[in-house]
Structure 1
Amino acid sequence: MTSDEQRKLLGAFVRARRESLIAERSGRRRTPGLRREELADRAHISVTWVTWIEQGREVRPSADTLDRLAVALCLARAEREYLFALAEREDPADPFAVLPDDAPASIVTLVENVPWPAYGLDPMWNLCCANNQAQTLFTGLFEGADQPNLLRYTFTHPAARELLPDWEKRALRVLAEFRRDYGRKHGDPRVQSIVDWLCEKSDVFRMGWGRQTVAEREGGRRSFHHPTKGLVTYVQHTLADAERPDFRLVFLQPDG
């Protein structure tokens, strides 16, 4: 539940942003910026709601109300994130749409320069970038026009069953790691759509999802039955980007 301090911070922030805006027809005004009535009109909410939010009252505006406030206040990206964080609401226009979906430059650079299989994962577990070694190792993952997605590949692509020794155990481990990320971004409709699709298409995913198993994304030995290279073993390493921790760099160092 939102604390008294958070509500006060939220109210002070909304008021400060309101007072910093320039009214369309300012004329001679005793108060700076927009009046509460003008902000309410812009945001299509009641003046009472604006007043209670600014006063830090024990109310909890909906995500839709906050979205309209953010637009009316002309908030920049960081300001919008701050508004929703103080209100403890998921941003319906984000979690990722406002932020860039492209892989951070640090991950792209490392993927391109690591001499072993390496790839980047975005918040939906799409492979946002991958080097040639990774594309060679994960047979079938990069075929076709669809966005390569590690979850879809692991649970629904026939090549994954051949590539991964003890496929079901490995797949359920991947699911448990994904659930940890899902807990942070379950409000994102795109993430939820992935879960819904996989529950429909994969009995193993649906069964594993119901178990509620959660795991860290850990490193360690990973073996693969490659169709041309035979059994190959790597040590997996996973790193997060400092500025975009919802993106991951994964690389596989040959074992031995």
Structure 2
Amino acid sequence: MPTPTSFPAPRGAQEADILRSPARELGDFIRAHRERLTPDAAGLPAGNRRRTPGLRREEVAQLCGVSPTWYTWIEQGRPVSASPDALARIAVALRLTRAERAYLFELAALRDPAEPAPGTSDAPAALLASIALLDAPAYVLDRQWTALAWNGHASDLFVGWLAPDDDHNLLRYMFTSEAARRLVVGWETRARRLVAEFRADSSRHLTDQPTRALIENLLKASDAFALFWRSQDVGEREGGLREFDHPVRGHLRFDQITLTPALREDLKLVALIPRTVPEG
């Protein structure tokens, strides 16, 4: 049996400072992605020996059409004024994905000029009721990824998460429950991806108290979560194969589908469709 991966404990002051002001978070995010981007990927000559990883600040500033001083200040988390147009140019220069670009604008508390205006809607009661109609594990998550409703198939599958007395938050379950580590096949890969997806998903309400409280609690409770959160990875929520080692039913395989109701992008309906293995 493979031994669990050991994660380094968060370092005192670094752990306490990991949720900083939006300006500092914005600067850290931009710097991390600048350091990952190679000159070749950005369409720049590699040049002579480089002392820093990735692109230089001056190179990104040139690509964005902004002054090097202004760009340096925004990376340093100084309270500088940033227009949506300037941020859009940074997103293009750094080759950010759609999820990463959305996170960039949310950190800056600005609306992406490429995004349509959001709509509003009352709480969709029909959404919560719809999962009972599905003959497969299904549940609804709120903006903190706490299950609001689920069907019997889901409670049977997720041991330790969806029983009446369980903590119904998916992230706390994944990172603080030994049952989750035993249940989820490839736990480390899935857990890392989950944090990247939550970072992208929570960007619209990262300063909301419930969201901040959840993140701060997990930073203290889980070394793995703290490590993955510090990585600044951002990813869109993806479907695909999900595998479980169920204590009663054995090895199970599903295709995950995540649906977002119209006008309520803070909620998700997740369904796990059993994947049948073709007979050889």
Q: Same fold (TM over 0.5)?
A: yes
Report the Cα offset of residue 239 of structure 1: 0.3
* Pair 1:200-2:227 in alignment: no
Q: Identify the structure with bigger relative contact order (alpha carbons < 8 Å, sequence gap 6+).
A: 2
Cα distance in 1 for partners of 2:160, 2:176 equals 11
**Which of 232, 246, 255 is the aligned partner of 2:266?**
246
Letter paired with 2:204: R
* Pair 1:221-2:241 in alignment: yes
**Which of 159, 166, 173 is the aligned partner of 2:193?**
173
Aligned pair count reads 161
> Structure 2: 5+ residue runs without aligned partners?
1-108, 111-120
**Which of 201, 214, 230 is the aligned partner of 1:210?**
230
Report the Cα offset of residue 109 of structure 1: 2.7
Letter paired with 2:185: P
C-alpha contact 1:240 1:247 (8 A) present in aligned 2: yes
Give the 3-state SS of the residue equivalent to 1:231 in structure 2: strand
Q: Cα RMSD between the aligned structures?
A: 2.3
Cα distance in 1 for partners of 2:144, 2:273 equals 24
Cα distance in 2 for partners of 1:201, 1:218 equals 26
Query: Structure 2 length normalisation: TM-score?
Result: 0.54
**Which of 110, 120, 131 is the aligned partner of 1:111?**
131
Report the Cα offset of residue 241 of structure 1: 1.0
Query: Structure 1 length normalisation: TM-score?
Result: 0.59
Moved over 3 A (4+): 143-147
> Structure 1: 5+ residue runs without aligned partners?
1-87, 90-98
Give the 3-state SS of the residue equivalent to 2:262 in structure 1: coil
Cα distance in 1 for partners of 2:192, 2:164 equals 25
Report the Cα offset of residue 168 of structure 1: 1.2
Deviations 1:195-251 (A, max 9, x none): 000000000000000000111111101000000000000000000011311100000
C-alpha contact 2:161 2:167 (8 A) present in aligned 1: no
**Which of 255, 260, 267 is the aligned partner of 1:235?**
255
Cα distance in 2 for partners of 1:217, 1:110 equals 21
C-alpha contact 2:176 2:222 (8 A) present in aligned 1: yes
Letter paired with 2:149: C
Give percent identity, aligned residues only.
Answer: 41
Report the Cα offset of residue 145 of structure 1: 3.7
